[in-house]
Amino acid sequence: MVKRIAVYGDYETSNVVRLKQAVWIRRMDGVVQRYWKYTDVKIVIQGRGRYEFYGKGRDLAEAVRLAPVYA
């Protein structure tokens, strides 16, 4: 029998954001020129909300025990 439990609290999630970065490169003729380069940056977002667990009773107890708690 599948059971369900909801836990309210803090959580963390990571997201990849694409940003532009200025890079200075010296050309062959000696001129220093600025180029724009895209870089991927991983950011961690802390939020507050509800997340749900589905499964057997023993699995739910293990999931709640391992659920992260952030102060």
- Is the pLDDT confidence value at 16 over 90? yes
pLDDT at 10: 79
**Backbone φ, ψ for residue 20 (5° rounding):** -90, 140
Architecture of domain 3-66: 2-Layer Sandwich (3.30)
- Is the pLDDT confidence value at 64 over 90? no
Based on its alpha-carbon atoms, the radius of gyration of the chain, rounded to whole angstroms, reads 23
pLDDT at 71: 45
DSSP symbols for 21-57: EEEEEE-TTS-EEEEEEEEEEEEEEEEEEEEEEEE-H
**Which residue would you say has higher pLDDT here, 16 or 53?**
16
Say if CB 31 and CB 11 are below 8 A apart.
Answer: no
- Is the pLDDT confidence value at 67 over 80? no
pLDDT at 69: 61
Query: What are the structural domain ranges in the chain?
Result: 3-66
